Amino acid sequence: MFRKKKNKFFEILIEWMLRLSGSATTIIILLISIFLFTEGWGLFKSSTVEKGYVLCINKENKIKNLTPEQIKEIFDGNITSWKEVGGDDIPIEPMRMDEVIGMFSEEEIGSDFEHLPERLSDVTAEHKGILGFFPEQFIDIKFKGKVLPAETISPKDYFGGKEWFPTATPAAQFGILPLLLGTLWVSLGAILLALPFGLAVAIYLAELANPTVRKILKPVIELLAGIPSVVYGFFGLIVIVPMIRNVFNLPVGETALAGSIVLAIMALPTIITVAEDSMRNTPLAMKESSLALGATHWQTIYHVIIPYASSGIMAAVVLGIGRAIGETMAVLMVTGNAAVIPHTFTEPVRTIPATIAAELGEASVGSVQYQALFMLGAILFILTLIISIWAEVIRKEPHAE
């Protein structure tokens, strides 16, 4: 009697421990998600101009605001007239504080820059085409120019922007379109390469290989999934990148194709294992019925086994895509890390995980770049969540009849 009560107590204790563990895991994941979105959402409250600085123009200039793209193009020298941005037909004179200081002597500026606000005001009033990028602390109430209003980064600029240049001054560029397309481009290439090979190996292991060969190959393939991604990256950098450079006669071999090949190799164990297990779950009665009706072994594989295992095969593909989208180090090493919109697989690209890994360590906490990277993490979280839900739905679909 005592032993039964003791066993009952331990069963209840273990049950509550399991419940607590599951609840804690769920809460932790939820808190991480909230943290990502909270840190990232502050981006859309941040100014497009570098913190602590303002853009100034002459009072007679009728321009009311400038987009981040226009500001960058002006300071890069690609836009040279105010007419190009809706103003008068006069040349634009981009000017930073250092250039203004160089116009005056030390006495005129002051040993502690006490006369600098007045000098900045005079220069802005004298140059009709000026676009000044000055520290906000040196703009006082007597300033003779006009300070352009600080625009905030909009979701349209972030999600639809075509340029990612977070260190650009005076206005950083936070368009994630190149990163998003680069991620999808590399992942698509990986799946197109991995699917036929993975499906072929799965069919061989499930239906053609003898038990001895299967017992050897299956653990080896599953072992590949445990190899660190940096090892795959080294392999890609030493073997695949030079091969692509030589075959396509390219100046560099770090391209989207190199990333796709490395990711395809990394996704193969997942695709093979899940697809093979699904095929082996095909009822023996269905196979025997097909063979009894006169079908060959290959006809049975094509018309019975693959249709029956289609949901498992699709789940394998989706899980492989999830592995490809979330991969960081291997992609960082072989894709060239160029934040440009890809058009071919022989161009360098940059993915979302690689961007986070490369820039987060250099971004100061609370900065606009820091917030933009956290928003990238939130986007990656949503993508992987969608893929996981999709895989789960496919797994639960009824088998083909």
Last residue of a domain, one of 119, 136, 152: 152
What residues pair up with 132 in beta bridges, in sequence order?
56, 95
Among the residue ranges 63-67, 110-114, 264-268, 383-387, the one predicted with the least confidence is 383-387
Confidence of residue 180 (pLDDT cuts 50, 70, 90): very high
On whether residue 189 sits in a domain, the answer given is yes
- Section 259-282 average pLDDT: 89
Question: By the 8 A CB rule, do 37 and 95 touch?
Answer: no
On whether residue 30 sits in a domain, the answer given is no
Same domain, 356 and 218: yes
Which DSSP letter does residue 91 get? B
pLDDT at 77 over 80: yes
- 398 cis-preceded (ω within 30 degrees of 0): no
Question: By the 8 A CB rule, do 55 and 133 touch?
Answer: yes
pLDDT at 254 over 90: yes
Q: Specify the CATH number for the domain of residue 72.
A: 3.40.190.10
pLDDT at 24 over 60: yes
Please tell me which of 13-17, 252-256, 308-312, 320-324 the model is most confident about, judged by mean pLDDT: 252-256
Average pLDDT value for the chain:
87
Q: What is the spatial distance between Cα 48 and Cα 172, in angstroms, rounded to a whole number?
A: 7
Q: Classify burial at 178, counting beta carbons within 10 Å of its beta carbon; exposed 0-12, middle 13-18, buried 19 or more.
A: buried
CA distances from 208 to 113, 223, 375 (A): 82, 21, 48
Confidence of residue 394 (pLDDT cuts 50, 70, 90): low
Same domain, 142 and 183: no
CA atoms within 13 A on the CB side of 196: 3
What is the span of the domain harbouring residue 69?
53-152
On whether residue 318 sits in a domain, the answer given is yes
Confidence of residue 8 (pLDDT cuts 50, 70, 90): confident
Q: What is the spatial distance between Cα 117 and Cα 98, in angstroms, rounded to a whole number?
A: 13
Question: By the 8 A CB rule, do 224 and 268 touch?
Answer: yes
| Predicted pLDDT at 128 | 92
On whether residue 228 sits in a domain, the answer given is yes
Same domain, 259 and 296: yes
Tokens of 90: 């006069």
On whether residue 345 sits in a domain, the answer given is yes
Q: Which residues of 189-201 are buried (b: 16+ CB within 10 A; e: fewer)?
A: bbbebbbeebbeb
Amino acid at 183: T
Rama region for 120: left / alpha / beta (φ>0; ψ in -120 to 50; rest): alpha
Question: By the 8 A CB rule, do 75 and 49 touch?
Answer: no
Same domain, 261 and 351: yes
Same domain, 80 and 196: no
Same domain, 111 and 231: no
Residue 205 φ/ψ, nearest 5 degrees: -65, -35
Same domain, 147 and 186: no
Q: What is the spatial distance between Cα 116 and Cα 109, in angstroms, rounded to a whole number?
A: 5
Same domain, 195 and 307: yes
On whether residue 163 sits in a domain, the answer given is no
Q: What is the dihedral of CA 42, 45, 48, 49, to 10 degrees?
A: -90
Q: What is the spatial distance between Cα 260 and Cα 377, in angstroms, rounded to a whole number?
A: 21
Same domain, 108 and 186: no
Same domain, 211 and 312: yes
Q: Specify the CATH number for the domain of residue 184.
A: 1.10.3720.10
Same domain, 130 and 186: no
Same domain, 358 and 267: yes
Percent of the chain whose pLDDT exceeds 70: 96
Among the residue ranges 20-24, 44-48, 49-53, 64-68, the one predicted with the least confidence is 20-24
Question: By the 8 A CB rule, do 188 and 263 touch?
Answer: no
Q: How many domains does the chain have?
A: 2
pTM of the model: 0.83
Which DSSP letter does residue 204 get? I
On whether residue 368 sits in a domain, the answer given is yes
Nearest to 203 by CA among 302, 319, 317: 302
| Predicted pLDDT at 400 | 44
pLDDT at 200 over 80: yes
On whether residue 3 sits in a domain, the answer given is no
pLDDT at 230 over 60: yes
